[in-house]
């Protein structure tokens, strides 16, 4: 189940097809101007249609190829029914993530988070209810996680904005120009290399048949994902601000502002390093004996990831140069994949945190050097017309 949930997470991110950056770059301005309302609704329709068509094609191909991939690489031994549920769950998360990003881009944070928490509470109730009924198994948990949960969130969003949805369906027009293909696809490819690189450690552990260590490593990774969700929330709030930066003074101010916010998840990663073993034992029990060590090691690595997010925001929204992210993320993927394949047979699960540290260090240093060069090109100060 750990491996399958990671597959869902990766593919859900892949199937955003680069639209997240486009959403944050262009939706805030359209939403701020009443005369662009129909353009905004058309953008929403275009984005959802674009993602849905491509996602359904990919998911169909995945369902066909999944048994072979599982047999020779993932090696989970799951039934065709579980693999199909896993594949369909990806689409549910794609739609949920897209709507979340759209609401966050127009600063509807409270509404979207309330609906998401309602969905999470109901998912938890359903999973607890399955235990006495004997329905608890990987397939049912994945179905609740990837199908039931997103369906609840999407249903609430559609009902809350039913008038706008009616206009989107019946009146709004789709437009290829709104996809910003070159920018979107470059960011898309860059993001996928990064997301795959971050998961190659777990997949290669599974490939080498280290099933017990996969379970220990998977739990440590879940802790990281929980804190990463905080980083995602922070960067989603900060993203629209970066699109407005025009001068060195503004860039410097936003850099300090962003680092201050990112210190929260950074402190959480640092806290994991000093937590005593008994805390991990209470949460994970004695069955997962390597989880505390792996969690501490991964926490140290992800400190670099947390602070490095500020550079990615500048490249995407201020400099609008996702090409830099593409190149550095490809090298990060090579470090993770090559390092894990080479070292895991010798050092086992601890290889993952080692390679993550090396990979994140490369990203921070290389993107930091590039940031300094781009920063120097900005004007010291200009008169910005009030819009």
pLDDT of 73 reads 80
Crossing angle of helices 351-377/291-313, nearest 10°?
10
Give CA–CA dist 182/322, Å, rounded. Answer: 10
Q: Provide the pLDDT for residue 384.
A: 46
Give residue for tokens 């690489």. Answer: 73
Q: Which stretches of the chain drop beneath a pLDDT of 70? A: 283-289, 382-387
Cα–Cα distance for residue pair 12/34, rounded to 1 Å: 32
Positive or negative, the Cα torsion across 348, 350, 352, 357?
Answer: negative
pLDDT at residue 287, rounded to an integer? 65
Q: Report d(CA 51, CA 276) in Å as an integer.
A: 44
Q: What pLDDT does 385 receive?
A: 46
pLDDT digits (tens, 9 = 90+) for 60-69: 999 999 999 8
Q: Where are the domains of the chain?
A: 1-179, 180-379
Per-residue pLDDT of 125-151, as tens digits, reads: 999 999 998 888 888 999 998 999 999
pTM over 0.85: no
């Amino acid at each position: 189940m750990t491996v399958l949930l990671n597959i869902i997470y990766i593919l859900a991110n892949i199937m955003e097809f680069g639209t997240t950056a486009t959403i944050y770059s262009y939706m805030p301005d359209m939403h701020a101007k009443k005369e662009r309302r129909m353009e905004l609704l058309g953008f929403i329709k275009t984005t959802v249609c674009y993602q849905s068509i491509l996602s359904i094609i990919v998911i169909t191909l995945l369902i066909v190829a999944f048994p072979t991939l599982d047999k020779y690489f993932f090696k989970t031994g799951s039934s065709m029914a579980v693999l199909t549920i896993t594949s369909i769950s990806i689409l549910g998360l794609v739609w949920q993530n897209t709507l979340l990003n759209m609401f966050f881009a127009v600063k509807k944070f409270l509404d979207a988070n309330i609906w998401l928490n309602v969905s999470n509470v109901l998912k938890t109730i359903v999973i607890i209810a399955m235990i006495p009924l004997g329905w608890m198994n990987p397939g049912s948990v994945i179905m609740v996680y990837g199908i039931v949960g997103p369906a609840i969130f999407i249903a609430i969003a559609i009902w809350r904005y039913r008038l706008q949805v009616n206009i989107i369906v019946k009146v709004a027009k789709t437009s290829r120009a709104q996809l910003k293909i070159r920018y979107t696809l470059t960011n898309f490819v860059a993001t996928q290399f990064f997301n795959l690189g971050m998961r190659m450690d777990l997949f290669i552990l599974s490939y080498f048949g280290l099933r017990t260590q996969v379970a220990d490593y998977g739990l440590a990774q879940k802790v990281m994902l929980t804190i990463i969700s905080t980083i995602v929330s922070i960067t989603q709030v900060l993203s629209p601000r970066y699109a407005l930066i025009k001068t060195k003074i503004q860039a410097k101010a936003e850099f300090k502002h962003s680092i201050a916010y990112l210190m929260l998840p950074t402190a959480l990663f640092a806290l994991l390093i000093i937590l005593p073993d008994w805390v991990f034992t209470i949460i994970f029990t004695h069955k997962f004996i390597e989880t505390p060590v792996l969690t501490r090691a991964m926490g140290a690595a992800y400190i670099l990831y947390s602070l490095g997010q500020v550079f990615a925001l500048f490249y995407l929204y201020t400099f609008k140069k996702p090409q830099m992210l593409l190149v550095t993320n490809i090298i990060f993927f090579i470090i993770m994949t090559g390092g894990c394949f080479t070292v895991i047979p010798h050092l086992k699960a601890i290889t993952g945190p080692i390679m993550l540290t090396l990979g994140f260090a490369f990203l921070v240093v290389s993107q930091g050097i590039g940031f300094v060069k781009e920063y120097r090109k900005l004007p010291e100060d200009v008169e910005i017309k009030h819009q």
